[in-house]
């Protein structure tokens, strides 16, 4: 499958802003557009095998998507942070929280990088392990990593740092939610309702293997036995934050990004970035 790369710059200093994988009749693109706003996401169809500003690895007569020069110009002025994950949902959340100041890329742009195993017993330890691991492979770049999870009081803090693999190493989000509901039902007669808990998050910022900053955030709430909503990811459909009648699976992204554990940790990180690394 041919790949087209939209780039702005000169020679070795060119910066990759978007990758477009093209098949006849299928157009898919990956670009960090969330940080510049919908008004600047101007894409144009172009039927051609070559176009100014695009390099080709394989030629084919098919329709491709080409970023407008104004869109690329906006990106060219934004400092870059690599978010050490391939999780698209998390990356979108982080890009939205950082706003139009930072160009947030995920590890999807670096498919050859494998993060080390998360062997820490705390969220901070695992966030640092991931950030340092990516930093070693990407010297000179700012690396941001998070580790987050759900703590349920009735389950003695489980699933905790094992939240992503609660039902097993290869478990899906649905598998993890199913196990959580099963465990909560076992406790229903002893603990009563609601099941109190919280999401926790730690963000670690690293460059060249050195930890620059670590921040923490938490959001309190309760766990339901029945899922509500299909938004978000992970345990969102089971978690009802304090002060709201709906779960994160129903609440809008704007509401979630204003009060979530990741939002709390990001607010402190964003302030630190503004005071220490912005020109």
Supply the pLDDT for residue 75: 45
Residue 72 phi, psi dihedral angles, 5° rounding: -65, -35
- Same domain for 92 and 71: no
Answer with the residue of higher pLDDT: 72 or 225.
225
- Same domain for 208 and 122: yes
- Same domain for 158 and 21: no
- Separation CA 28–CA 51 (nearest Å): 17
Residue 68 confidence (pLDDT) above 50: no
Supply the pLDDT for residue 48: 31
Domain boundary among 76, 109, 128: 76
Task: Report DSSP state, residue 249.
Answer: T
- Same domain for 257 and 231: yes
- Same domain for 145 and 38: no
Answer with the residue of higher pLDDT: 122 or 69.
122
Strand positions, DSSP E, 132-275: 142-152, 195-207, 210-223, 239-241
- Same domain for 138 and 21: no
Domain boundary among 19, 42, 76: 76
> Lowest-pLDDT range, 78-87, 111-120, 187-196?
187-196
Residues 6 or more apart in contact with residue 270 via CB below 8 angstroms: 97, 98, 99
Residue 39 confidence (pLDDT) above 70: no
Supply the pLDDT for residue 253: 87
> Lowest-pLDDT range, 57-71, 94-108, 219-233, 234-248?
57-71
Domain span including residue 269: 80-276
- Same domain for 139 and 15: no
- Separation CA 121–CA 203 (nearest Å): 15
Residue 133 confidence (pLDDT) above 90: yes
pLDDT tens-place string over residues 257-273: 899 999 999 999 999 99
Averaged pLDDT, 57-82: 51
Residues 6 or more apart in contact with residue 221 via CB below 8 angstroms: 196, 197, 198, 199, 239, 240, 241, 242
- Separation CA 116–CA 110 (nearest Å): 15
Count of all residues that appear for the chain in the document: 279
Q: The tokens 């002060």 sit on which residue?
A: 243
Which residues are the active-site residues? 147
- Separation CA 201–CA 260 (nearest Å): 9
Supply the pLDDT for residue 25: 29
Answer with the residue of higher pLDDT: 201 or 56.
201
Residue 28 bridge partners (DSSP): 21
Mean of per-residue pLDDT scores for the chain: 78
The proportion of the chain whose per-residue pLDDT surpasses 90, expressed as a percent, equals: 59
Domain boundary among 16, 44, 76: 76
Residue 121 confidence (pLDDT) above 80: yes
Residue 23 confidence (pLDDT) above 80: no
The proportion of the chain whose per-residue pLDDT surpasses 70, expressed as a percent, equals: 70
- Same domain for 67 and 103: no
- Same domain for 158 and 31: no
- Separation CA 120–CA 141 (nearest Å): 24
Residues 6 or more apart in contact with residue 52 via CB below 8 angstroms: none
- Same domain for 33 and 87: no
User: In the chain, how many domains are there?
Assistant: 2
Question: The CATH number of the domain where 251 resides is what?
Answer: 3.90.950.10
Label residue 70 by pLDDT band (50, 70, 90). very low
Supply the pLDDT for residue 78: 75
- Same domain for 212 and 148: yes
pTM over 0.75: no
């Amino acid at each position: 499958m041919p790949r087209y790369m939209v780039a702005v710059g000169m020679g070795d200093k060119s910066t990759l802003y978007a990758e477009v994988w093209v098949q006849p009749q299928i157009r898919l693109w990956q670009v960090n557009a969330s940080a510049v706003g919908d008004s600047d996401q101007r894409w144009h169809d172009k039927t051609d095998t070559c176009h100014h500003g695009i390099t080709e690895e394989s030629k084919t007569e098919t329709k491709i998507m080409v970023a407008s020069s104004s869109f690329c110009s906006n990106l060219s002025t934004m400092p870059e942070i690599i978010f050490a994950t391939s999780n698209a949902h998390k990356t979108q959340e982080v890009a939205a929280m950082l706003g139009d100041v930072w160009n947030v890329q995920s590890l999807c742009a670096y498919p050859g990088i494998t993060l080390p195993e998360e062997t820490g017993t705390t969220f901070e330890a695992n966030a640092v392990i991931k950030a340092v691991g990516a930093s070693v492979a990407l010297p000179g770049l700012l690396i941001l990593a998070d580790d987050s999870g759900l703590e349920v009081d009735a389950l003695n803090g489980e699933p905790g740092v094992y939240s992503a693999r609660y039902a097993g190493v290869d478990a899906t989000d649905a598998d993890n939610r199913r196990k959580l509901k099963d465990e909560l039902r076992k406790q229903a007669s002893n603990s009563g309702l609601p099941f109190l808990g919280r999401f926790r998050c730690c963000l670690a910022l690293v460059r060249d293997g050195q930890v620059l900053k670590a921040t923490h955030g938490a959001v309190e709430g309760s766990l339901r036995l029945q899922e509500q909503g299909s938004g978000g990811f992970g345990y969102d459909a089971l978690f009802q934050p304090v002060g709201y009648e709906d779960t994160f699976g129903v609440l809008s992204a704007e509401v979630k990004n204003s009060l979530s554990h990741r939002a709390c940790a990001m607010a402190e990180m964003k302030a630190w970035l503004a005071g220490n690394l912005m020109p």
